[in-house]
């Protein structure tokens, strides 16, 4: 009976060692990649730049010198074509990055010095709903 008890203690020690090792790996990954990546995987961000541009997408490596933004959208004001002065305030539409003349890929590395601030978007925001609608239509 004593041999069986020692075996159980040995197995439980290894179990605790494995659990502690797993916790350590998660903590190191969170520190290395940034906690935003660990906890906010399905969150879209609005990235506001110093040139007055705002891009929407999924940001990774936010603490690096060049964070990466993927699944990128931006706002564009559509002006109706009319002779004379265009009316103030055209219709705003969300545009998927990639259809422009220069044909960019759907990833942007942004100089961190040009980021004013970053906002996480709520799942029920109009921008997130428009992105989800776009993805469903593809």
| pLDDT of 87 | 56
Do 29 and 48 share a structural domain?
no
Query: Which range marks the domain in which residue 1 is found?
Result: 1-33
| pLDDT of 86 | 55
Please state whether the predicted TM-score (pTM) of the whole model is above 0.75: no
Do 4 and 63 share a structural domain?
no
User: Is the per-residue pLDDT at 20 higher than 90?
Assistant: no
Q: What are 80's two structure tokens?
A: 């109706």
Split at pLDDT 50, 70, 90, the class of 110 is very high
User: Is the per-residue pLDDT at 84 higher than 60?
Assistant: no
> 46 pairs with which residues across the strands?
56, 119
Alpha helices in 1-138 (DSSP H): 2-33, 35-39, 126-137
Other beta carbons within 10 Å of 28: 10
| pLDDT of 82 | 61
């Amino acid at each position: 009976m004593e041999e069986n008890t020692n075996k159980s203690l040995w197995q439980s020690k290894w179990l605790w060692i494995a659990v502690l090792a797993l916790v350590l790996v998660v903590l190191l990954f969170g520190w290395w990649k940034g906690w935003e990546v660990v906890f906010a995987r399905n969150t879209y961000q609005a990235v506001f730049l110093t040139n007055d541009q705002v891009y929407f997408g999924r940001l990774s490596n936010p603490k690096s010198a060049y964070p990466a933004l993927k699944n990128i959208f931006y706002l564009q004001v559509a002006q109706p074509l009319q002779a004379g002065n265009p009316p103030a305030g055209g219709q705003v539409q969300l545009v998927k990055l990639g259809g422009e003349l220069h044909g960019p890929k759907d990833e942007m590395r942004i100089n961190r010095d040009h980021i004013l601030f970053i906002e996480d978007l709520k799942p029920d925001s109009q921008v997130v709903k428009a992105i989800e609608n776009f993805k469903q239509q593809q």
